[in-house]
Chains A and B, each alone.
Chain A
Amino acid sequence: MRIGPQIPAILFTALLASRALAAGTAAPDFSLPARDGSTVRLSELKGQVVMINFWATWCGPCRQEMPLLTQLQSKYEPLGFTLLGVNVEPDSAAAQDWLKGMAVDFPILFDRKNAVAESFGVQGMPSSVFLDRAGNVRYVHRGYKPGDEAKYADMIRNLVKE
């Protein structure tokens, strides 16, 4: 019997999928240090639509979508929307350096021990998790391709309208 190369790939995907954070479940709470020195706790943002974006400076698509996320933040903030950029690097110096040249105006949090990335079951970089006003996970988006920002905007609009 010959086992095709796709069999291990399917098994691997199934293994990853079993750890995904399902839509509809309550988001695990966390508190992380922010770039401006404050501490951000997720449960304090209840009542707002929250988009949590997991990113790293070594991830090209993450860097690519950062300016677009800034636009989303400024556009939807008046409607009760907050974006949290969670940097997953153990050493945040690279992120601090890179952000100096960027007009990023949403909170950047540092998840140096990857505890939050683990509790959210992040399956790709970048990953975005969209929470409704009650703090439940509603959408999970993996990866970034040019054009995905329109999907982000749709999801945010849906959640803000509720």
Chain B
Amino acid sequence: MTLRGIDRACAAAVLLALAGCANVEPWVKPYERQNFADIIMAPDRNPVATAYIDHVYEAREGARGASGSHGGGCGCN
């Protein structure tokens, strides 16, 4: 396969994936997120320590955010 062919295949795959997105069921709606908001869904066991380590990273790297999702998973803010 030529490089151009691979490009086309990739583009086709991306388009197919996007077209598929619209039909995924069940699509979890904001008002259906009560199971996500459950405390058991929080992956880390030491949220206070994690928040501190995140702060250390932020200070050291001069960047913040994109380190996971905050809040109760309710789709607000």
Contact = CB atoms under 8 A, between A and B. Distances in A.
Given A56-B31, A58-B37, A114-B31, A126 B22 contact: no
Interface in B25-77: 29-34, 37-38, 71-72, 74-77
Contact of A123 (B7, B30, B32, B77): B30
Which range contains the number of B residues in contact with the other chain?
Answer: 10 to 19
B29 A59 contact: no
Contacts of B76: 59, 61-62, 124-126, 142-144
A60 B71 contact: yes
Given A59-B74, A60-B71, A117 B18 contact: no
B29 A62 contact: no
A125 B31 contact: yes
Q: Interface SS of chain A: helix, strand, loop or mixed?
A: loop
Given A58-B37, A59-B37, A125 B74 contact: yes
Contacts, number: 63
A124 B7 CA distance: 37
Interface of B: 7, 14, 18, 21-22, 29-34, 37-38, 71-72, 74-77
Contacts of B22: 15
B32 A59 contact: no
Given A11-B18, A58-B72, A114 B29 contact: yes
A62 B33 CA distance: 13
Contacts of B71: 60
Which range contains the number of A residues in contact with the other chain?
Answer: 20 to 34
Nearest to A56: B34
Given A89-B34, A122-B29, A122-B30, A61 B18 contact: no
Contacts of A142: 76
Contact of A125 (B18, B21, B75): B75
